[in-house]
């Protein structure tokens, strides 16, 4: 399973041809983090755009944070917030991917590359 990070989802909604082409070459099940869904909705300009974004993300399996991923996210924050500037949304996305054994496709590799258990694309 491949989890599409918020920045990848944004590029898809912008019809970025390189991102869409790469997506079409990947033979995988795709998911999105509930955190990415929230980030997209917060960034929506109006209710019409919000409705379109919700229809878009609902095409994918949504990874919700649970007790185990929240616990891991907390551990990641304790370990990496000061040394690597890991923020709360990224810790929750990473933890959800780790717990689901999903590979994270992100354009912000530097924000996650130091997490040894997280598979990146």
Q: Which two tokens stand for residue 75?
A: 């551990």
SS3 93: helix
- Summarised one tens digit per residue, pLDDT across range 14-49 is 999 999 999 999 999 999 999 999 999 999 999 999
List the Cα angle 89/95/13 in 5-degree steps: 55
CATH class (in words) of the domain with range 2-111: alpha beta
The number of beta carbons lying within 10 Å of the beta carbon of residue 94 is 28
Task: Indicate the domain borders of the chain.
Answer: 2-111
pLDDT band, very low/low/confident/very high, at 114 (cuts 50, 70, 90): very high
């Amino acid at each position: 399973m491949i989890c599409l990070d918020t920045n990848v989802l944004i590029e898809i909604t912008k019809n970025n041809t390189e991102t869409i082409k790469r997506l079409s070459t990947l033979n995988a099940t795709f998911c999105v983090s509930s955190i990415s869904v929230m980030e997209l909705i917060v960034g929506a300009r109006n209710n019409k755009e919000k409705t379109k974004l919700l229809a878009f993300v609902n095409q994918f399996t949504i990874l919700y944070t649970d007790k185990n991923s929240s616990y891991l996210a907390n551990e990641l924050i304790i370990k990496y917030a000061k040394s690597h500037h890991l923020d709360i949304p990224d810790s929750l996305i990473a933890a959800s991917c780790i717990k689901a054994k999903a590979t994270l496709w992100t354009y912000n590799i530097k924000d996650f590359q130091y997490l040894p258990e997280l598979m990146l694309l």
